[in-house]
Structure 1
Amino acid sequence: MRVGIFGGTFNPIHMGHLIIAEHILDAAQLDKIIFIPAQSPPHKSLSLTDSAEHRYEMVRLAISGNSRFEISDIELKRNSKSYSVETVRELKKVYPNDKLFFIIGSDTFYELGTWFDLPGILEIVEFLVVRRPGYIDKYINTLDQAMEDFAIIHGVNISLVDAPLIQISSTLIRDKYENGASIRYLVPENVMSFIGARGLYE
């Protein structure tokens, strides 16, 4: 089985995440994608109002109804910062005979050199790189070559997925909601209802 790993803060999860994930399922011939909300990523800080429980529930609601999408609380169970190498090692124990693919944005690809124990990660997963909106002009002439160099240096396979470029971000959604603007069609209806019922991002 070919299993995709889609990690993120998902604060909140939005239609861009879902559209890209659905596209990757077919483009990379994956059998399923596991969404993994992060506890506390080393490169980000979350406000106290963005509780892990709320973010987990929003992802669960968003992917309900799609049999090829799953959610895992593997990182939320930790009481410390989430390092990807720990996550992929735990997932490999669950899927010892399956091929694991780690989905990242093109912006994140350029940060891989800063990841903790990158060699340990590369022993377990293959990276799928998705172009990120807003980064195209900066990297359009260098991304393909950079990925080719990365593959040669590390002796691994790495693939670029040309998914739809969706101009939606969690920051945009939080800002719009805080300012009283509509977020309809930016997030699933059940996620929008959850945000309203819990008074998130106000």
Structure 2
Amino acid sequence: MRKIGIFGGTFNPIHRGHIHIARAFFEHLHLDSVLIIPTQVPVHKAPQGLISGEERLEMCRIAARNDPHFFVSAIEVERKEKSYTYLTIQRLRERYPDAALYLIMGSDMFLSFTTWYRYRDILQEATLCAAARKNRQQEELAACARRLREEGGRCVVLDLNVVDISSTELRARIQAGDDVSGYLDGAVEDYIRERGLYGHGAQSGK
């Protein structure tokens, strides 16, 4: 059976931590591929500072360019409306009727999963894969996984030593003109700089 990872997010911008998470689950679960899916209008996050879907798609393509098992999908950006994971899963199920689906997410999304639209239906369609950014999250994530398993869900939680920075903080550093090479793929950083995204260097005059 084909095993497909689904990694959705605003990716505003996509950074090394995102790719690390995707690669960790790809290797741990022996996935055949990972679909990286930028959202159009996120339901669970306020779209403050959100650049266009096309620009975020391109940054994702750049970040994933060196991994032949990672693919970037425009399935949500093309929908031009709020991004509900349940609807995306349904469309992917039509394309891959016999595949096992693995929904990859960060810790914050996992902990709020029961607030998602038709989350119980998602549990029936996909295994949830959560990445802990900090060691202290392990107990909280484990408790959440137990509750979801009681509802019939399948969960995989990995404690990953990922780049611990939020996209909000990263955007602020980009605007300030700070060195972000430790967080961004060099080609992604070039793309941001060339287009002046996120007010690149605006605060520093760079």
The secondary structure found in structure 1 opposite 2:171 is helix
| Alignment length (residue pairs) | 198
Q: Does 1:179 align with 2:179?
A: no
Q: Does 1:101 align with 2:102?
A: yes
CA distance in 2, matches of 1:143, 1:186: 25
Residue 118 of structure 1: CA displacement?
1.0
For the structure 1 residues 79 and 157, does the alpha-carbon distance in structure 2 shift closer, same or farther, using more than 3 Å as the test?
Answer: same
Matches within 5 A, 1:64-143: 64-133=65-134, 136-137=135-136, 139-143=137-141
CA distance in 2, matches of 1:186, 1:117: 34
Match of 1:23 in 2: 24
- Kept in 2: contact 1:34–1:70 (CA 8 A): yes
- Kept in 2: contact 1:5–1:103 (CA 8 A): yes
What percent identity do the matched residue pairs reach? 34
CA distance in 1, matches of 2:124, 2:162: 30
Q: Does 1:198 align with 2:199?
A: no
CA distance in 2, matches of 1:141, 1:2: 28
CA distance in 2, matches of 1:10, 1:166: 14
CA distance in 2, matches of 1:194, 1:168: 20
Residue ranges of structure 1 left out of the alignment (5+ in a row)? none
CA distance in 2, matches of 1:189, 1:48: 21
Residue 165 of structure 1: CA displacement?
3.0
- Kept in 1: contact 2:124–2:152 (CA 8 A): no
For the structure 1 residues 199 and 98, does the alpha-carbon distance in structure 2 shift closer, same or farther, using more than 3 Å as the test?
Answer: same
Q: Which of 118-127 and 95-104 deviates more?
A: 118-127
Q: Which of 86-95 and 164-173 deviates more?
A: 164-173
Residue ranges of structure 2 left out of the alignment (5+ in a row)? 200-206
RMSD, aligned α-carbons: 1.6
CA distance in 2, matches of 1:56, 1:198: 14
Matches within 5 A, 1:51-70: 51-70=52-71
Q: Which of 72-81 and 41-50 deviates more?
A: 41-50
TM-score (norm 1): 0.92
Match of 1:146 in 2: 144
Give CA deviations for 1:20-42 in whole Å, capped at 9, x if unaligned. Answer: 21111111211111000000111
Q: Does 1:155 align with 2:156?
A: no
Q: Which of 186-195 and 118-127 deviates more?
A: 118-127
Q: Does 1:13 align with 2:14?
A: yes
